[in-house]
């Protein structure tokens, strides 16, 4: 696999790890202590990160 493709795969892996950590935080009791506006920002951040990961997955699926 070419270097740039390996970087894409690695970037997706790192992003997925960050998504997992953020998702786990959102599920914790600590999340309920945060003010409502910040909760919404974190939830939106998670949604965008998931979408970004899906784009990486599409790109990787089209690697030849």
Which among 8, 11, 17 has a CA at the least distance from the CA of 59? Answer: 8
pTM of the model: 0.92
Asked if residues 11 and 57 have their Cβ atoms less than 8 Å apart, the reply is no
**Above 90 in pLDDT, residue 1?**
no
Phi-psi label, residue 9: left if phi above 0, alpha if psi -120 to 50, beta otherwise: alpha
* Mean pLDDT, residues 28-33: 96
């Amino acid at each position: 696999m070419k270097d740039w493709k390996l970087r894409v795969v690695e970037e997706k892996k790192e992003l997925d790890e960050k998504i997992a950590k953020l998702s786990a935080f959102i599920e914790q009791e600590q999340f309920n202590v945060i003010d409502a506006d910040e909760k919404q920002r974190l939830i939106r951040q998670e949604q965008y990160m998931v979408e970004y990961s899906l784009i990486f997955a599409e790109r990787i699926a089209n690697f030849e």
